[in-house]
Structure 1
Amino acid sequence: MSSSKNEQFTELAKRPDIEQINGEYERMLEQIRDQLVAEIGITAWVPDENPRRASLCGAEFNDVGGDGEVRLYSSGHSPGNLPDAKWADALKLVESIVGQHGFKLHGAVVDRPGDHEVTFGNDWGAELLFGTAKNTTLSITTGCHLTQEAHQRGTPK
């Protein structure tokens, strides 16, 4: 077993396992969706038919193999555009919620009238996208986390 694999596993073992992150991020997305509807007045969310996908970790943790996982969660969409007049308030609301989970605004992907998208990230490589154009969307990709089984085992396979 290479030292790189041990080092990568040890680094990931300091993080919550993927199931713990799954629960935290799903609750965070639900809070964002609920508050955008209640406080900003957007249309209720239409769930994605396939809201969750998973893959092995990428280049940064490629030696952990099946012990690590990255997940993508889609919140579906809120039909229709979020008006420009409400964008700043919606962005502030999202930033406030994700900030409680260690996310910081990384910047705008798109910022023009009727079309906005921003990205937030955390120290574990997670990325949250929030945007509006034809519809309002919200999704998150986790960083790499050990599977629950690997985290409990405490050593690489």
Structure 2
Amino acid sequence: MSKDEQYAELLKRPDIEQIHDEYTKMLEEIRNELVAQIGIAPWVPKDEPFSGSGCAEFSDLSEAHKRRYSSGHSPGNLPDARWADAVKLVESIAGRHGFKLHGAVVDRPSDHEVTFGNDYGAELLFGTAANTTLSVSTGCHLTKAAKERGKPA
């Protein structure tokens, strides 16, 4: 794919700041609802809640970025008896943001992890073992300035 084709593809997507706002709100809602409805312990945030990088699949575009967001952890294991309900809750909220359940990464007693994805190549991971965790990696998105400019630099 040429640089112009890559740029045109990314113009169809929200910019990275729009995705930042949407995904941080989605993660906050999931965390809050897991505490309120499932009864897990309140989340302990990470010192650095997100990191970023360029995009290998759009390597010709220096203004294409990915971000990874960690929700920290909820101390302790989510009991097996509550796992299915927790997954349904996460699936419901993530589904409103275009994420679909892709399936289990790990599924054994007291150790579970599922993955969700969307059309932009984002991946949301939700799991429990020693602690309960939630994270999302975005797909590739242009910076706000690059999207507003409407053409490659």
* Counterparts of 1:18 and 1:95, CA distance in 2: 23
* Counterparts of 2:104 and 2:77, CA distance in 1: 17
Match of 1:95 in 2: 91
Match of 1:45 in 2: 43
Match of 1:133 in 2: 129
Match of 2:110 in 1: 114
* Runs of 4+ residues over 4 Å off in structure 1: none
Amino acid at match of 1:81: N
Amino acid at match of 1:61: F
SS in 2 for 1:6: helix
Say which of 80, 90, 96 aligns to 2:76. 80
* Counterparts of 1:140 and 1:124, CA distance in 2: 12
- Once the two structures are superposed, residues 28-66 of structure 1 have per-residue CA deviations (whole angstroms, 9 ceiling, x without a partner) of 0000000000000000000011111000012x21111x2
* Counterparts of 2:94 and 2:11, CA distance in 1: 23
- Unaligned 5+ residue runs, structure 1? none
Aligned pairs for 1:1-16 (under 5 A) are 4-16=2-14
Give the number of equivalent residue pairs: 153
After TM superposition, the score normalised by the length of structure 1 is 0.96
- Unaligned 5+ residue runs, structure 2? none
Aligned pairs for 1:52-67 (under 5 A) are 52-58=50-56, 60-64=57-61, 66-67=62-63
After TM superposition, the score normalised by the length of structure 2 is 0.98
Q: State the percentage of identical aligned residues.
A: 70
RMSD of Structure 2 on Structure 1 (CA)? 0.8
